[in-house]
Structure 1
Amino acid sequence: MDFASLLGIFSGIALIVSAILLGGNPDVFVNVPGLMIVAGGTIAATLLTVQFKDVLNAFKAAWIVFTQDKTNAQEMIDTMLELSRVSHRHGLLKLGDVESDSHVLKRTCNLLAEAASEQVIRNTLQNEIDSLIARHHSVQDVFRKMAAYAPAFGMLGTLIGLIQMLSQLSNPETIGPAMAVALLTTFYGSLLATMVFLPIAGKLHARTLSEVTNLEIIREGCISILTNDHYMHVYEQLASYLPEAQRKPIKIGKAQKPGEENAKAARKKPEASR
């Protein structure tokens, strides 16, 4: 699991639970009808807004994003440099033998091996980027909608509780406990929105930016390979995608064992779920 996600989940839950326990009786924060209104209402409104399969895909994507490490831009740059060395030593046709778990990288290597034009490669990768952004936006939109619906249903539950409380004004002793129960639904809605739905949407957005950066590195790297740029020139073009402090210098004329470039070029690149 991504360490930042793990730390955020446990620290957030621990702080909220600690505050509840230090404040007194934790049983007052448990209200099943209120939770049913907030959770059930949020899910129902979301299903009315988007298709059921989109909701399932959103939760599946969230699980994969939170359990897999994000792709590393530096590793992708290293991979493109190895591909540049392979093309200089063995020609573009050799790139067709490269194996990779990244279907985009494999597809682009095949285009290079088939001597596709620069415009074809650029258009193909740009279509991949646009398609990825659209798919990820639909997934993020599910959680943003749920983050908007949860507080609204929390307020709705509070109004229901207030109506029930006002109907029993003849018994003043019940006003305090009834008011506490009425406010619980607002608490549930705010908690789900700020601790669950919005963080998930933010994490998915960050993963989208990371994957778009990797696709742009593949695009620019393949175009540089196609134009037969020296791998140092390839590096200088791709290094701009990283902050200066994270750029790893490379050595000119780095010695390699025979066949090592093919093994390195076939680095495994896990695909995040769209």
Structure 2
Amino acid sequence: MHFIIGMLGLGLTLAYTLTQGHASGFGGIIHVPSLVLLGFAPLCMTVASYKFSELGGAARAVGRALRFSASRSRAQLYEALTQFAAEVRQRRPARALEIASQAQHDVLRQLGPLVIRQYSAADIESTASTSLFCMVSGMKRAEDVLGTLSRVAPATGLVGTVLGLISLLKDLSRFEQLGPSMALALLCTLYGLLLANAVYQPLARIIHSHMTVAVEEARLITRALVLIREDKPLADVRKLFELSGTSPHGAGAPAAEIATGTAGEP
């Protein structure tokens, strides 16, 4: 169904461009038929290639990546792990479960209850690997959607260029049509390159950066929860946070270290 809708939308977009490309006035860098072609044709091709659920997932991934701050996320993760470890060590499972369920990180929400239920370290790591694989797969699909758009946009610009040249040659004797036809031919290429290199590729790189940080945080969470399950200090995980420059310092830090069993460690 998505293929039919995508092809239908592409056909309507091309029809509009063919009928209005030579009739629209040329007002400098703005040419409406070219904008319509480059705005809708790549999206229609992408709709034909991906299911609506995948496109929705890609849109949500873009929204999350744009709102994401690595430093803020790492600080929130450190605080959540510290509080969770403190509650587990003080034998307050209900409060620990509440902290895990309210965490901003999916992996902590999924693995926190396993620590409370006293799953083995191997089971926790196995579940973490599965969770990480699913998370990365979703982000890679979103990145692939944007990669498709970045490849299709210049190709669509080339299609517009060909249509403009055809219109130019057809109406070569009508001087009033030369401007709109040449505008369609040149501006489609310009719009396609701008969309690919200034919109779609940067968004794909933002998602990739978000995925890289998410993988790092998932591994930190897994290591920390294994240490908590084995009732060991979180010293090595704390040092990893400090190396990343996101470990909180100040008045509250010593209390957190005492609660998690890391006070006095080098």
Q: Same-fold call, TM > 0.5?
A: yes
Deviation at 1:238, TM superposition (A): 4.3
Matched, 1:147 2:150: yes
Matched, 1:165 2:168: yes
Q: Give the equivalent residue in structure 1 for 2:51.
A: 51
Matched, 1:195 2:198: yes
Matched, 1:90 2:91: yes
In structure 1, distance between residues paired with 2:120 and 2:201: 42
Higher RCO (C-alpha under 8 Å, 6+ residues apart): 1
In structure 1, distance between residues paired with 2:111 and 2:154: 46
SS in structure 2 of the partner of residue 143 of structure 1:
helix
Q: Give the equivalent residue in structure 2 for 1:34.
A: 34
Q: Give the equivalent residue in structure 1 for 2:77.
A: 76
Most deviating of 95-104 and 114-123: 95-104
SS in structure 1 of the partner of residue 165 of structure 2:
helix
Q: 1:219 to 1:255 in 2, by over 3 A?
A: closer
Given candidates 125, 136, 139, the residue that maps to 1:136 is 139
Most deviating of 185-194 and 67-76: 67-76
Q: Give the equivalent residue in structure 1 for 2:186.
A: 183
In structure 2, distance between residues paired with 1:85 and 1:51: 44
Query: Residues 136-189 of structure 1: CA distance to partner in whole angstroms, max 9, x if unpaired?
Result: 111111111011101100011011111211233345675466323310001111
Deviation at 1:83, TM superposition (A): 2.7
Query: Residues 22-43 of structure 1: CA distance to partner in whole angstroms, max 9, x if unpaired?
Result: xxxx931222222222222211
Among the aligned pairs, what percent are the same residue?
A: 22
Deviation at 1:57, TM superposition (A): 2.5
Q: 1:206 to 1:177 in 2, by over 3 A?
A: same
Residues 125, 222 of structure 2: 8 Å contact kept: yes
In structure 1, distance between residues paired with 2:253 and 2:169: 82
Q: Give the equivalent residue in structure 1 for 2:8.
A: none
Structure 2, unmatched stretches of 5+, are 1-25, 260-266
In structure 2, distance between residues paired with 1:242 and 1:145: 38
Deviation at 1:237, TM superposition (A): 2.9
Q: Give the equivalent residue in structure 2 for 1:209.
A: 212
- The code of the aligned residue for 1:227 comes to E
Residues 163, 184 of structure 2: 8 Å contact kept: no
After TM superposition, list the pairs within 5 Å mapping 1:101-120 onto structure 2: 101-102=102-103, 103-120=106-123
Residues 95, 112 of structure 1: 8 Å contact kept: no
SS in structure 2 of the partner of residue 28 of structure 1:
coil
In structure 2, distance between residues paired with 1:252 and 1:163: 71
- The code of the aligned residue for 1:43 comes to L
- The code of the aligned residue for 2:48 comes to L
Deviation at 1:211, TM superposition (A): 1.8
SS in structure 1 of the partner of residue 212 of structure 2:
helix
In structure 2, distance between residues paired with 1:245 and 1:113: 29
In structure 1, distance between residues paired with 2:197 and 2:163: 23
- Aligned-residue CA RMSD in angstroms? 3.1
- The code of the aligned residue for 2:30 comes to V
In structure 1, distance between residues paired with 2:59 and 2:153: 16
Residues 100, 113 of structure 2: 8 Å contact kept: no
Following TM superposition, where does structure 1 have runs of at least 4 consecutive aligned residues deviating by more than 4 angstroms? 68-71, 91-94, 171-177, 244-253
Q: 1:108 to 1:32 in 2, by over 3 A?
A: same
Query: Residues 82-126 of structure 1: CA distance to partner in whole angstroms, max 9, x if unpaired?
Result: 333333333778634545323532332221121110110001111
Matched, 1:221 2:224: yes
TM-score, reference length from structure 1: 0.72
Deviation at 1:61, TM superposition (A): 2.7
Matched, 1:61 2:61: yes
